[in-house]
Amino acid sequence: MKKAFELKKASQLISGFIGAALLCTGVAANAQLLQVATVFSETDFSSQILKQWTTGVTEKTDGRIKFRTHWAGSLVGNKMLDGMNDGVVDVALSFTPYVSGEIIDLAPLDVPFSFPLDSKGLANFNKEALPILDAIYEKRGSRVVSAPPVLLPDPVTCSDRFVSDADKWQGVKIRTAGRWQAETIKRWGGSPVVLAASDLYTGLKLGTIDCALMVYNGVLSLKLYEPAKYVTRVDHSIAFGTINVANTTWDRLTEADRKIMLEVGQQAMDWGIAEYAKTYVSTMDKLVEAGAEMCVPKQAEFDRLVAAANDVFKVEIEPNVTSDGEQLIELINRYRDQVVVLPTAGPIKECP
């Protein structure tokens, strides 16, 4: 009797192990490994927000969806929409400058001073912008699941000068990302140069460019303060980032997993907003500690820059957008008064 009982118990244990193995095999078979692309390095502020989203989705789906992230443009460079349409990229941290030359409805976000940079204003703006951007991107092959504040404000970082007035802008070769930033730089008095983010350090060091229009988190993560220590604090918005899922990937997800991606997307936005203000100040502190010098332009110069950016917005973009772009412009105009102000946080010494 005892031997029979032991044999039965052993049989049950073996059956349990086999069942567990089959269950694990089933989970593994159903799991999806999605390819993620971003132009920024793993240490960048934007990458920390992206990790919040990918980690959160994996946890909420009990491992059914996992991600492999390709940092620093290592998968498709900055061709995120092409990568998603070609099936190479499942998820991308997409930035408007790389596509707004072709998608005019995204162009309003690429003109400096287009949206607020204070935490409260940015949180409200991004929440309202998400469904508009989702409609625009869906027609081009992807869905927007999150619109977090992945980019800190944008100063002008130069190797040999502060660009503190119209004369100092003359002849400056300055890196821009995309058509609309280039149009703005021309009106400010500089000469725009299109250069990949990964080539900025070398370009500044060799003199291919004199300055870079690059957000603070990019200046820090790309170490641009080494070849270019003069930071003119115009501190404007310059581009908009979103977490996008390719339509082909979205279509094969269950409704439950889509819902999870959107819910975690909102959580990533909330986390990013909570971190945004302190990261803005701490990033400037780190740059100063590393040897960067900062100044704020005089009010008259700031007003000149705003007027020139407004000209790009009104003359080049507004007459040419579709109804989707009109919705975005209406949103931008509602927040306009919160945008065109000189910086008040961090080093605020007036430029010479």
For 107, residues 6+ apart whose C-beta sits below 8 A from its C-beta are 96, 100, 101, 179, 180, 316, 317, 321, 325
Q: Which of 76-90, 272-286, 330-344 has the lowest mean pLDDT?
A: 330-344
Report the greatest alpha carbon distance in the chain.
101
* Average pLDDT of the segment spanning 86-106: 95
Q: Does residue 108 or residue 21 have the better pLDDT?
A: 108
The domain ranges of the chain are 32-151+240-278, 154-236+286-338
Question: 14 falls in which pLDDT band (50, 70, 90)?
Answer: very low
pLDDT, position 238: 86
* pLDDT per residue as tens digits for the range 79-92: 999 999 999 999 99
Sign of the C-alpha dihedral computed for residues 73, 74, 75 and 77 taken in this order: positive
Tell how strand 154-158 and strand 230-236 pair up. antiparallel
- Write the CA distances from 108 to 112, 178, 185, 267, 300, integer angstroms: 9, 12, 15, 26, 24
- CATH number at 32-151+240-278: 3.40.190.170
Task: Examine the pLDDT at 8 and tell me if it is beyond 80.
Answer: no
The one-character DSSP state at 296 is B
Instruction: Give the whole-number percent of the chain exceeding pLDDT 90.
Output: 83
Mean pLDDT, the chain, as a whole number? 90
- Write the CA distances from 170 to 86, 181, 187, 190, 251, integer angstroms: 42, 17, 11, 6, 50
Tokens of 271: 């986390």
Confidence (pTM): 0.84
pLDDT, position 12: 40
Fold of 154-236+286-338: D-Maltodextrin-Binding Protein; domain 2 (3.40.190)
Task: Examine the pLDDT at 13 and tell me if it is beyond 50.
Answer: no
For 310, residues 6+ apart whose C-beta sits below 8 A from its C-beta are 113
Task: Examine the pLDDT at 324 and tell me if it is beyond 70.
Answer: yes
| Alpha-helical runs (H) found in 61-140 | 80-85, 119-138
Task: Examine the pLDDT at 339 and tell me if it is beyond 60.
Answer: yes
Rounded to 5°, the CA angle 310-312-314 comes to: 65
Task: Examine the pLDDT at 155 and tell me if it is beyond 90.
Answer: yes
pLDDT, position 62: 97
> 308 with 188: CB under 8 angstroms?
yes
